[in-house]
A and B are shown apart, each in its own frame.
Chain A
Amino acid sequence: MLLAEANFRLDAQAVDYVLLGFYFVIVLGIGVLARRSISSSLDFFLSGRSLPAWVTGLAFVSANLGAVEVFGMTANGAQFGIPTVHYYWIGAIPAMVFLGIVMMPFYYGSKVRSVPEYLNRRFGPASHLVNGISFATAQVLISGINLFALGSVVNVLLGWPLWLSIVLSAAIVLTYTAIGGLSAAIYNEVLQFFVIVAMLIPLTVVGLHRVGGWEGLVDRIADKGNEISSWPGTNLTGIGDATLSVLGIVFGLGFVLSFGYWTTNFAEVQRGLSAKSMSAAKRTPLIGAFPKTLLPLVIVIPGMLAAVISPELAAAKAQLAANPNATTDVQFNDAIKLLIRDVLPNGMLGVAITGLAASFMAGMAANVSAFNTVFTYDIWQTYIRKNRPDAYYLKVGRVITIVGVVAAIGTAFIAAGYENIMTYLQTLFSFFNAPLFATFILGLFWKRMTPAAGWSGLVAGTLSALAVFILANSGAVTWFGSPDSQGPSFVGAGAAFVVDILVSVIVSVRTKPKPDKELTGLVWSLTPRESRKHGEEGEDRGWYRKPSVLAGGVLVLTVVLNIIFW
């Protein structure tokens, strides 16, 4: 174990530490500067709805560019190759466009301060509580996972003790989110986005240079049939039949999982709610979609490069190809660490370490800032201490940020002890989004849907996802892929979606709906067109600021990339 760890140790020198240290100074400086703009709880939790679209748009991508994304997608690149792009072009872009064009007008226009608050206004307290509590809990646990990932990277790459790395990283995130609120988190996310890109692009370029360009990379990949073309992606889904595999990707990943995640996850939607106008809110996911479309080129390709450049990873991959149950010295999850170690000299090495740290802090800060908002507005203000002056809730927000981070530290230490449990938990959370999306979409377009249908659909959908998850992991059912492939999560999400819709419809028919006048601004048919429209004056003018133009542009770009990597 000790030997294996020593293999990853990067030869970081003074210059690399200086680059990392300078970044931390800037990060904390942003927290201090952002504090000056906070005079109310809305400033703290939603940046006073004042941010420009390019800032919220880049933060939108960055909030998702955490540990799971950077390690997970390079790992998938190393293991499966090009089919990994489906997580972006099928699994993100259509949902981001849908959020910007269809759903954001309701979130932003109804002036709700969180996703659970929308549920409260549309369906009442039962679904609000179900969602509010499960979301807040999930955010703390996920930020603990991000924290553990960050701590273990610092531990493995630089040799600092794990506990010190975890506490130090948590302290930095806590400092800037508690003093500077969402503005500090978002401004840092934008900075983090650029630092992460400054790590990924050189990594890709140098890696490709080493193997002799794209042709050289293709030459060195053993399984060209599966790893060079994106469709049907049977190696990614674990579903043997090509047609079923395509269906799994399009409906499971592209529709249920991705729409569930991108359109209802408050950690993402919150970035849009902090925008300064309806137009900027709509543009937030659309602007974010452009970098999201291009990211796989510098995330998936480095993963593939690691699997041919790093001798350890290449050996592990060959071993696994011969025997899927083989125990290997390194894991696919180590791909980006190995590539950084093998191709970057000091200097760039510092930028890459900073990029990794930035990525995990971005993910964690997004979780923390979504958690404190939901806890303060949706749990504390709605059920525990109502009608206090605004300054009180601002104080609660700061205190609960500290509580959340301390709980995340606890989770990180639990994760350190039981790594498998955390992996399961994470898969589980991805299931929770699928029924949520079903409830949202039905509630948004069908005014007849009743409050009772709201909570019962959510509960039934979540339970059915859980059932699929248990069936797959116990090995009782295997036709939709093995437990460690993506098949079960596609099927689980699909089942959750269908069951949620069925239960919601049946319960709606038998219970009493809310009167129309309480649903204005919350349901499509009862919301006047005027209140969904965005302004086109002042800083929202210009053809390139039209949401429809941006949406069309990113869809065309996605189709073109799909054709190139078909």
Chain B
Amino acid sequence: MASRGSLFDLRWIIALLFGVYGVVLLVMGIGFESDADRAKTGGFNVNLWVGIGMLVFTALMALWALIRPLRIPDEAK
């Protein structure tokens, strides 16, 4: 059935969203941490670490999508 074959791979969309989020947070964490921010977080650079975490997550999602690509179900079976 054509309808199933054309389903897109959600894993790439998740990777796209968190890739962009990760980069933005990383930049915020490295370049724009203010004293007010440090007061809020108690000195824990949350943007930096969450940014790194999101990029790792992005890489894992992308890796999964590459290793196990979506297969179009064989309708004959």
Contact = CB atoms under 8 A, between A and B. Distances in A.
Bind each other: yes
B66 interface: no
Interface in B8-59: 8, 10, 13-14, 16-18, 20-21, 24-25, 28-29, 32-34, 36-37, 40-44, 46-47, 49-50, 54, 57
A250 interface: no
B54 A347 contact: no
Contact of A210 (B7, B36, B42): B42
Contacts of A477: none
A191 B42 contact: no
A430 B41 CA distance: 38
A40 B4 CA distance: 12
Interface in A335-356: 342-348, 351
Nearest to B5: A37
Contact of A347 (B14, B24, B36, B57): B24
Interface string A190-234: 110011001000100110011000000000000000000000000
Given A48-B4, A209-B44, 13 more contacts: A22-B17, A22-B21, A26-B13, A50-B7, A198-B54, A206-B42, A206-B44, A206-B46, A345-B33, A345-B34, A347-B29, A347-B47, A351-B21
B25 A26 contact: no
Contact of B37 (A22, A30, A50, A346): A346
A107 interface: no
A347 B28 contact: yes
A43 interface: yes
B21 A19 contact: yes
What are the 10 closest A-B residue pairs judged by CB atoms, nearest first?
A345-B37, A347-B28, A347-B47, A210-B42, A39-B3, A209-B44, A33-B8, A202-B50, A37-B7, A37-B3
A426 to B, nearest CB: 31
Nearest to B61: A194
A209 B50 CA distance: 14
A325 B50 CA distance: 41
B28 A15 contact: yes
Contacts of B50: 198, 202, 348, 351
A43 B42 contact: no
A38 B8 CA distance: 12
A23 B17 CA distance: 7
30 contacts: A19-B21, A22-B20, A22-B21, A36-B8, A37-B3, A48-B4, A50-B73, A183-B7, A191-B17, A202-B49, A205-B46, A206-B41, A206-B42, A206-B44, A206-B46, A209-B42, A209-B43, A209-B44, A210-B41, A210-B42, A276-B73, A344-B40, A345-B34, A345-B36, A345-B47, A347-B24, A347-B25, A347-B29, A351-B25, A351-B50
Contact of B40 (A22, A29, A38, A345): A345
Contacts of A347: 24-25, 28-29, 32, 47
Contacts of A205: 44, 46
Nearest to B51: A347
Interface residues of B, number: 36
Contacts of A55: 10
Contacts of B46: 202, 205-206, 344-345, 348
A262 interface: no
Contact of B13 (A48, A191, A351): A191
Contacts of A210: 41-42
A345 B36 CA distance: 8
Nearest to A29: B13
Contacts of B37: 345-346
B18 A194 contact: yes
B47 A348 contact: yes
Contact of A346 (B20, B28, B43, B57): B28
B3 A48 contact: yes
Contacts of B32: 346-347
Nearest to B37: A345
Interface in A518-566: none
A37 B72 CA distance: 13
B3 A26 contact: no
B22 to A, nearest CB: 10
A37 B4 contact: yes
A286 to B, nearest CB: 20
A18 interface: yes
A239 B46 CA distance: 41
B76 interface: no
A43 B5 CA distance: 13
A187 B10 contact: yes
Contacts of B4: 37, 48, 50
